[in-house]
Copies of this chain bind each other. A is one copy, B any other.
């Protein structure tokens, strides 16, 4: 019956999110011996301006590193 909520930065490829759902579902089913149908996964994409670690937003961190936001 596990319930999984995953927050990731916005802007990922749809295929990436789909694979994430599959892998996490499998991880839950295997380790908890749960019936697959009972595992519910919801993914939320967070704008990089709205997520901060240590008061640095993901958008700002990407600017500093001179590259695209990663992970």
Contacts and interface: CB of A to CB of B under 8 A. Distances in A.
A68 interface: no
A64 B42 CA distance: 20
A63 interface: no
Contact of A71 (B2, B9, B21): B2
Interface of A: 1-9, 12, 14, 16-28, 30-46, 49-55, 57-58, 70-71
16 contacts: A1-B9, A1-B71, A3-B3, A3-B7, A4-B6, A8-B32, A26-B55, A33-B70, A33-B71, A39-B53, A39-B55, A40-B51, A41-B51, A41-B55, A42-B51, A42-B52
A20 B45 CA distance: 20
